[in-house]
Amino acid sequence: MSLSELQHFVHAELLDGGGWNVDEIVTALRDIREQSLEGRQRLSNPPKLPSRKALQEIVEGLTAALFPNRLVSPDLAKGGVDYFVGHTLDVALRKLLLQLQRELLFSSKVETNLPAVRDRAAEIAVNFAQELPAIRVLLESDIEAAYQGDPAAQSVDEVLVCYPGIVANIHYRLAHVLFSQGARLIARMISEIAHSVTGIDIHPGASIGESFFIDHGTGVVIGETAIIGNRVRLYQAVTLGAKRFPTDENGNLIKGNARHPIVEDDVVVYAGATILGRVTIGRGSVIGGNVWLTRSVPPCSNISQAQVRHELFDGGAGI
């Protein structure tokens, strides 16, 4: 039998269902799902999770509404900007409302009062919408910080459309407000969308001040309880992480405790630096590249690696 004849035979067998054993696989997958639901004490027919695709569309719409003059078609007439912003916001917020309802239904472990869920989702959406002007101001400060902090930047417009740090900041600023309002799953999903695109991992629970600049960015990690002041600059592969993970008497991780660094105003952290634990980096400090830091440092500190020793070992040199 030739190769082409063999391929045709295999294809025919699969089409007939002889090669997949689909019925057995479907049954096994159903059994695993049911066991998982029982283990998590969830409903037998749980609501759907929020949609990652829908959240991507929501963020894109919100971003266009925040920066219509820079990110929308140049054919948009000046007199039509407000109409575009209003329409785009309305569409994005309606989509967000549906995703909020999904999260609230999914996170409930018992049968839920649907009208109450709708009311709570609407409350979160309205509160979020009211914060959009403040988010826009913060993002403008981030963009200006990037432009002023990078000699390669030719304009603030270039920063907005080219810099991964700004993409991550936009997602973070939106997600942080949702996280603060209680929509924690949606906030995490929005942050992870940015993480997958930029390589920058900012937990939406972190608190970050104005004029925040991440240069290059790939590999940056900022933990949930990190607190970052104003005018802070981070370079690629910086980690603001936890030093240890305490457990309770049953060996389960204790969630939500303050375990990430506090970085005060006007701090610069260079590439590859790792800062772990609930330590404080004092205002105006500079943390050098590849530094491993697990202690607090006072304001205006300059922390670098220990000096590398170069020594010729003649005849063993005592070793």
How far is C-alpha 69 from the geometric centre of its chain's CA atoms? Answer: 26
- Report pLDDT for 196: 97
- Report pLDDT for 248: 82
Report percent pLDDT > 90 for the chain. Answer: 67
Co-location of 168 and 233 in the same domain: no
- Report pLDDT for 102: 94
Within-domain flag for 211: yes
- Report pLDDT for 262: 98
Within-domain flag for 31: no
Co-location of 265 and 166 in the same domain: no
Q: Could you list the residue range(s) of the whole structural domain that residue 166 is in?
A: 38-201
Within-domain flag for 318: no
Co-location of 191 and 68 in the same domain: yes
Co-location of 225 and 189 in the same domain: no
When divided into structural domains, the chain yields a total of: 2
Co-location of 68 and 111 in the same domain: yes
Co-location of 183 and 98 in the same domain: yes
Co-location of 94 and 229 in the same domain: no
- Report pLDDT for 81: 87
CATH number of the domain where residue 296 is located: 2.160.10.10
Within-domain flag for 33: no
Could you give the CA distance from residue 69 to residue 16 in angstroms, rounded to a whole number?
A: 56
At which of 161, 178, 201 does a domain end? 201
User: Has this prediction a pTM greater than 0.75?
Assistant: yes
Could you give the CA distance from residue 100 to residue 106 in angstroms, rounded to a whole number?
A: 10
Which pairs with CB-CB distance under 8 Å and at least 24 residues apart come from 115-124?
121/97, 122/97, 124/100, 124/178, 124/181, 124/182, 124/183
Within-domain flag for 139: yes
- Report pLDDT for 319: 42
Co-location of 54 and 133 in the same domain: yes
At which of 201, 221, 252 does a domain end? 201
Within-domain flag for 315: no
- Report pLDDT for 157: 93
Could you give the CA distance from residue 310 to residue 316 in angstroms, rounded to a whole number?
A: 14
- Report pLDDT for 317: 44
Within-domain flag for 124: yes
Weakly modelled stretches of the chain, pLDDT under 50: 6, 9-10, 17, 316-319
Co-location of 126 and 240 in the same domain: no
